[in-house]
Structure 1
Amino acid sequence: MNSTGLASRHISIRIDRPVEEVYAYASDPAHLPAWAQGLGGAIEKIGDQWVAASSPMGRVVVSFAPLNDFGVLDHHVTLPSGMTVYNPVRVISNEAGSEVVFTLRRQAQMSDADFERDAGMVADDLARLRTLMESKS
């Protein structure tokens, strides 16, 4: 890889809920529309894939890492153009609570403004996830 590889930014948020609860909720794709606004208002399972037909980008297909004991929520998003974006995500323990870490990767040909916009959208999504999780008691 050359020295101009894709930039990454780690965006994280602390959630005052046990790591097992956060992982169980966030790893269920049916919950995504409640906190991941980029997927639009609905996602449905079609075969072994999850499809968000009404996302702001158009129809996107999301493939998730298998359930695991390590808090890995990695997923691939296939855009209408056919391009697939890999999103590494982890839920890790943070004292009695959790921390969710999303690694945003800057895509080739992405402007600074687009990268900042995407980072803001991810931060907003994580804030929604925190609000949802912390309202459960």
Structure 2
Amino acid sequence: MTYPVKNISISINKPADEVYQFASNPENFPAWVAFIKSTTREKANIWAAKTDLGNIKIAFTPKNNLGIIDHLVTLPDGSTVNNPMRVVANGKGSEFIFTLFWMPGRTEEEFNQDAKMVESDLQDLKNILEKG
């Protein structure tokens, strides 16, 4: 069984390696992921975050040269959500891609609201990176 997905992307006028370095650093998440208020490293690739939803755990894929920023988020209720993210070269800039899964129990309205939040976060990421 598969879940419906929406791939949300944004073009960023910065080189892919620069976007990857910023976006893959969990310390930067509060600057561009609206619901995350703070992050604290617990282990090598495991971070705790204070969010609008309560305290969560985030397990990141190790640093890599492929632009992969996949991470598993464990929510306060113990459920885990897979968040695939990619940075790929696009000319002299890059494309940032987030795959949003429509999880069981979420209504269409909630899924669409989640997508709008991701789109807003990606716009914030673009704005931060293109200013610098």
Could you state the TM-score of these two structures normalised by the residue count of structure 2? 0.96
Deviation at 1:122, TM superposition (A): 0.3
Deviation at 1:6, TM superposition (A): 1.1
Q: What does residue 66 of structure 1 align with?
A: 62
Q: What does residue 22 of structure 2 align with?
A: 25
Q: What does residue 87 of structure 2 align with?
A: 91
Figure out how many residues of one structure are paired with residues of the other and give that number: 131
**1:124 partner letter:** S
Question: Structure 1 runs of 4+ off > 6 angstroms?
Answer: none
**What runs of 5+ residues in structure 2 fail to find an aligned partner?**
none
**1:34 partner letter:** A
Deviation at 1:109, TM superposition (A): 1.1
Could you state the TM-score of these two structures normalised by the residue count of structure 1? 0.93
Deviation at 1:97, TM superposition (A): 0.2
Distance in 1 between the 2:65 and 2:32 partners? 22
Deviation at 1:124, TM superposition (A): 0.4
Q: What does residue 101 of structure 1 align with?
A: 97
Deviation at 1:43, TM superposition (A): 0.8
Equivalent residue in structure 2 for 1:46, among 31, 42, 49: 42
- Deviation per residue, 1:87-126 (Å, 9 max, x gap): 1100001110000000000110110010000000000000
**2:112 partner letter:** E
**What runs of 5+ residues in structure 1 fail to find an aligned partner?**
none
Provide the secondary structure at the position in 1 that maps to 2:49.
strand
Distance in 2 between the 1:33 and 1:87 partners? 16
- Deviation per residue, 1:32-89 (Å, 9 max, x gap): 00001122x2111123421112x11111101101000100010000000100000110
Superposed CA RMSD in Å reads 0.8
Deviation at 1:17, TM superposition (A): 0.3
Percent identical residues: 39
Distance in 2 between the 1:122 and 1:78 partners? 18
Q: What does residue 120 of structure 2 align with?
A: 124
Distance in 1 between the 2:33 and 2:107 partners? 22
Q: What does residue 113 of structure 1 align with?
A: 109
